[in-house]
Amino acid sequence: QSALTQPASVSGSPGQSITISCTGTSSDVGGYNYVSWYQRHPGKAPKVMIYEVSNRPSGVSDRFSGSKSGNTASLTISGLQAEDEADYYCSSYTGSSTWVFGGGTKLTVL
Amino acid sequence: QVQLVESGGGVVQPGRSLRLSCAASGFSFSTYGMHWVRQAPGKGLEWVAFIWYDGGNKYFADSVKGRFTISRDNSKNTLFLQMNSLRAEDTAVYYCARGSYYEGPFDYWGQGTLVTVSS
Closest CA to B92 of B67, B66, B61, B114: B114
Q: Are strands A105-109 and A99-101 parallel, antiparallel or unpaired?
A: unpaired
Could you tell me which residues are beta bridge partners of residue A93?
A: A99
Query: For residue A51, what is the nearest residue in chain B, using CA coordinates?
Result: B105
- In which residue ranges of chain A is pLDDT below 50? none
> What 8-state DSSP symbol labels residue A86?
E
Of B44, B102, B107, the CB nearest to A101: B44
d(C-alpha B111, C-alpha B119), whole Å: 26
Tens of pLDDT, residue by residue over B60-118, are 999 999 999 999 999 999 999 999 999 999 999 999 999 998 887 999 999 999 999 99
The Cα of A102 is separated from the nearest Cα of chain B by a number of Å equal to 7
Of A1, A47, A103, the CB nearest to B61: A1
Which residues, numbered 36 to 95 in chain B, qualify as contacts with chain A under a Cβ-Cβ cut-off of 8 Å?
Answer: 37, 43-47, 50, 57, 59, 61-63, 95
What is the structure's pLDDT at B97? 98
